[in-house]
Structure 1
Amino acid sequence: MNKLLKTLTWLAGIAAALYIAVCCYFYFEQDSLIFHEAKLSHNHKFSFAYPFKEYSIKSGNDTLSGVLFKADSAKGLIFFLHGNAGNADDWGDITPEHTAMGYDMFVLDYPGFGKSTGHISSEADLLQAVQTAYDTLKNAYQGRRIIIMGFSIGTGPAAWLAANNKPDKLVLLAPYYSFIDLAKNLYPFLPSFISKYQLNTYSYIEKVKAPIVIFHGDADGRIYYQSSLKLKQHFKPGDRLIILKGQRHNGIDKNEEYIKRLPATLN
Structure 2
Amino acid sequence: MKKMLLGILAFFLAAYVIVCVGIYFYQEKIIFYPEKLPENYTFKFEGDFEEITIKTQDNKHLNSVLFKAQNPKGVIFYLHGNGGSINGWGEVAQLYRSMNYDTFMLDYRGYGKSEDKINSKDQLFSDVESAYKELLKKYPENKIIILGYSVGTGLAAKLASMHNARLLILQAPYYSIEDEMSQKFSFLPKFLLKYNFETGEYLKNVESPVVIFHGDKDEVINYKASLKLKDNFKKDDSLIILKNQSHNGITDNLDYQNRMKLILDSDKK
TM-score class, shorter-chain normalisation, is over 0.9
CA distance, structure 1, for counterparts of residue 86 and residue 263 of structure 2: 23
Instruction: Say if 2:175 is the partner of 1:177.
Output: yes
Find 2:54's aligned residue among 57, 79, 82. Answer: 57
Report the 3-state secondary structure (helix = DSSP H, G, I; strand = E; otherwise coil) of the residue aligned with 1:188.
coil
Aligned-CA RMSD value: 1.1
Instruction: Say if 2:128 is the partner of 1:121.
Output: no
1:66-87 CA-to-partner distances (Å, cap 9, x unmatched) read 1111111111010010000111
Find 2:37's aligned residue among 25, 34, 40. Answer: 40
Given that residues 217 and 244 in structure 1 are in contact (C-alpha distance below 8 angstroms), is that contact kept between their aligned partners in structure 2? yes
Report the 3-state secondary structure (helix = DSSP H, G, I; strand = E; otherwise coil) of the residue aligned with 2:51.
strand
CA distance, structure 2, for counterparts of residue 146 and residue 79 of structure 1: 7
CA distance, structure 2, for counterparts of residue 140 and residue 204 of structure 1: 26
Given that residues 24 and 193 in structure 2 are in contact (C-alpha distance below 8 angstroms), is that contact kept between their aligned partners in structure 1? yes
Aligned residue pairs total 264
Displacement after TM superposition at 1:143 (Å): 6.7
CA distance, structure 1, for counterparts of residue 258 and residue 185 of structure 2: 35
- Match runs of 1:91-170 below 5 Å: 91-142=89-140, 145-170=143-168
Name the residue aligned to 1:212.
210
CA distance, structure 2, for counterparts of residue 186 and residue 250 of structure 1: 19
CA distance, structure 1, for counterparts of residue 253 and residue 209 of structure 2: 22
Given that residues 75 and 144 in structure 1 are in contact (C-alpha distance below 8 angstroms), is that contact kept between their aligned partners in structure 2? no
Name the residue aligned to 2:16.
19
1:72-103 CA-to-partner distances (Å, cap 9, x unmatched) read 11110100100001111100111111111111
Amino acid in structure 1 at the alignment position of 2:79: L
Displacement after TM superposition at 1:245 (Å): 1.0
Q: TM-score, normalised by structure 1?
A: 0.96
Amino acid in structure 2 at the alignment position of 1:15: F
Structure 1 range deviating more: 257-266 or 120-129 = 257-266
Provide the identity percentage: 45
Instruction: Say if 2:265 is the partner of 1:264.
Output: no
- Match runs of 1:63-74 below 5 Å: 63-74=61-72
Displacement after TM superposition at 1:144 (Å): 5.3
Q: TM-score, normalised by structure 2?
A: 0.96
Given that residues 141 and 164 in structure 2 are in contact (C-alpha distance below 8 angstroms), is that contact kept between their aligned partners in structure 1? no
Amino acid in structure 2 at the alignment position of 1:141: Y
CA distance, structure 1, for counterparts of residue 133 and residue 4 of structure 2: 62
Displacement after TM superposition at 1:206 (Å): 0.9
Name the residue aligned to 1:239.
237
Displacement after TM superposition at 1:186 (Å): 2.4
Displacement after TM superposition at 1:57 (Å): 1.3
1:136-178 CA-to-partner distances (Å, cap 9, x unmatched) read 0122012751100000000001000000011010000000101
Amino acid in structure 1 at the alignment position of 2:51: E
Q: CA, structure 1 residues 192+262, in 2 after alignment: closer, same or farther (shift >3 Å)?
A: same
Amino acid in structure 1 at the alignment position of 2:102: D
Given that residues 218 and 246 in structure 1 are in contact (C-alpha distance below 8 angstroms), is that contact kept between their aligned partners in structure 2? yes
5+ unaligned residues in a row in structure 2: which ranges? none
5+ unaligned residues in a row in structure 1: which ranges? none
